[in-house]
Each structure stands twice: as C-alpha cells, then as structure tokens.
Amino acid sequence: MPRIGVARDGAEPTSAEQRDRHERILDAAAHLATEYDLPRVQMTEVAKRAGVAIGTLYRYFPSKTHLFAGVMLDRLERFGGYTPVRTRDVPVQDAICDALIAMTRRLVEYPSLALAMLQSNSAAVASAVPDTVKIEAQFQKILLSTAGIAEPTEQDKDLLRLLSMLWYGVIISYLNGRSTAAEAETDIRRSCDLLLVELSPRSS
C-alpha cells in the first residue's frame, strides 16, 4: 500500500508549460502502472518517462499516493466525455447505472492501473491529499450530469456518495479475482436498484 511521505499539498500548475509537464507526469505514471503493480512503480522512472526533473515531480506530487490519486482524478475527468447521455424515456436510476457500467469497463481495461488508482485513493487522507475530495466531486458530477439532475438534494448527494463506495468495492473485488466481470456488473446494477430508489422525486 502506498504511503504518504510528506503531509503537504502538491503545487497546482498555473501556466501552459506547467500544465503540460503536469499532464506528462500523469500520463507517464498511468503508462508505468499498466506495466507494473503499484509497489514496483518508481517515482524516478515516472520523472524520467515524463521528461521532468525528480524535484518537479515531487513539487506536484509529494508522494506516490498523491500521484495516483491525481491519475484517478484525471481519468475520471476524461471519463466524463464517454458516459452515455440520458434520454427522456430512460429512468434516472437506469441512466446512472449505465454510466457506472461504462466507467467500469473503461477503468478495468488496465487492471494494474485500476488497482493503483483505487488503492491510492482509499489510502489517502483527504486533508493531506486534496485530490481525493475532487475525485468524489467529479464522480458525482459525472453521474448527475448523465442523469440530467441539475439541482440535487443533500439526500441525492449522500446516496451517490454511498454508491461510489460500493462501486469501488465491487471493482476491487473483481480486480482481486473474487468475482467475474459479469458478476461485477450485476453487483453494480443491484447496488443501483437498492440505493437509487431513494432519489428525491423531483430528480426523476
């Protein structure tokens, strides 16, 4: 399990050049994690592949936990453009479930990368790794947007937060070989059926 070596926020890129370096670091880390499991991914190799100094890498990502939480946030932001859009004849619950299934299929295309992201996000303390809060916000943004829910209630947000926890658990169970892909998708649909029936009426 990755450990947080330094309890500080990573620097945020502000210029176009810095954003380019930041993106190269995320891409290099993601590619390495498709080749090696998380303990074998070395920060020095990430910096080398990204073409940045090791000090630059640590300025943006003080630990491997910060780095792969950042990779997960980046992937979720990209997923937002691939999730299905709800049509009027599709119930909100089904739209959200379909979006989760689509995200799951893309996430598990690279199992070792998926585990690296999920393990890092699970291990991270929100006060030390702010991207974990952004991950939850992005997760809710994707599902609410897909379902066409413009003004979610606090109950809606709580239900989606619980759904995200179940989703992570289902994916980790699949990646660890405790369920098949078909069983994982069935579990996701069952989770949606149980939780999303409580969505507020004005969101339907």
Question: Coil, strand, or helix at residue 51?
Answer: coil
- Residue 28 near residue 84, CB atoms below 8 Å: no
- The segments of the chain whose pLDDT lies below 70 read 1-9, 80-87, 200-204
In this prediction, residue 198 carries a pLDDT of: 80
d(CA 43, CA 63): 8
Q: Which residue has the tokens 């100094």?
A: 53
DSSP label at residue 129: -
In this prediction, residue 187 carries a pLDDT of: 96
d(CA 198, CA 140): 16
3-state percent breakdown (helix, strand, coil) of the chain, nearest 5: 70, 0, 30
CA distances from 203 to 64, 95, 96, 114, 200 (A): 39, 12, 12, 31, 6
In this prediction, residue 112 carries a pLDDT of: 96
What phi and psi values does residue 88 have, to the nearest 5 degrees? -60, -30
What the block records as the tokens of 1 is 């399990």
Residue 51: name the closest of 16, 11, 21 by CA. 21
In this prediction, residue 81 carries a pLDDT of: 62
- The packing angle between helices 92-107 and 181-195, to 10°, is 150
- Residue 54 near residue 43, CB atoms below 8 Å: yes
pTM for this predicted structure? 0.86
In this prediction, residue 191 carries a pLDDT of: 94
